[in-house]
Structure 1
Amino acid sequence: MSVISFLPPQSPPPPIWSFAGQIYTQVGVATHLLSRQEQDQIWINDWLFALWLAHKGNTVAVDFRCQISAWQHWRDQVIVPWRRYRKRLKASSMAGDEKARRQYQRAKQAELSLEWHDQQYLWRHRSSLSAGPEPTTRDREQCLSLSLQRLSGASTDTLSDSVSLLLSALEACTDSASWSD
């Protein structure tokens, strides 16, 4: 089943939705990002947004976290509880409970819809959430590394595996024509 099939029917997907879906399905990306989400409490959509900006030669704004503080409150109040609920259902569904499996699938679809709204927010506010034109041209690796530092507060050394994996996924994607703004 395609990620796109979960989109609310009244709204066309932003280009970042297609981009994120293609990157996320590259080998190792989902596992890596989900692990970072669990261990370091990163927001996967923020990291995929940072990769999209790096693809465009840009970075997230220095004050990205401040700019999205109200939105972050929505994420914490809406997405996080759904995520917890889905994880509880996943454990039950893996134990062979058919009713839990169906509930898990519905919860997964609902959470994906919430993630779509999260990406819509980032897309609508992309001009204020990005650093804007840089005075010097940076390569994708520099842009992504700087953005992930701003998003996570982690050092370059601890982010190098993430940067390498995400850039490899970006290179493996062939449908970049649909990623315009």
Structure 2
Amino acid sequence: MGAGAGRRDAEATRGAILRAARYLLARHAHADITLKAVAERAGVSAPLVLKYFGNKDALFARVMSFDTDAEALLDAPLDDLGRHMVRHVLLSQRELGADPILRIVFAPLQGEHGDVLRANFRGQVTARLAARLSGPDAALRAELAVATVLGLGVMVGIARGDQVRTVPVDDLVERYGPTVQAHLTAPRTDR
């Protein structure tokens, strides 16, 4: 096995551990989650979790960060960002079984850790998006666009809406993308 294969295996293991920790964090209070439970859910040993993340606090600091998720969510030119965001949320739900930014809805379960989750979300997702927008209400439009995408994520991943779960991704992107895009596009000033 070459070095590239080992690196891919390590990345896959790290990803499985993060997914397991996110899954558990969405269902249990931080204080009630053990490294053993994370390891079991990820299909690895607890010492391997420690090898990759050091300790529970370091693992959950990573889980509570939206930095990488926001990068993927916002990785499109502004004029196509609404459709991209919708596609990203839908594909995350369908392919991974979870939308990485949707975990913000579980912040109330987390006590003081919920405050960290909310602060990270505001700084790493909505503020990052607002910085890409123009106009005096850019921050508001960023929050509205993210709220719109989160609503879709809730309907698909939590409410498990029968209709939205059966419609092809491309059809939903074409129907819902313009709704998100409307918040991203600066209002015309020549009216």
The answer to whether TM tops 0.5 is no
Larger Rg: 2
Q: Which has the higher contact order (CA 8 A, sep 6+)?
A: 1
TM-score calculated relative to the size of structure 1: 0.29
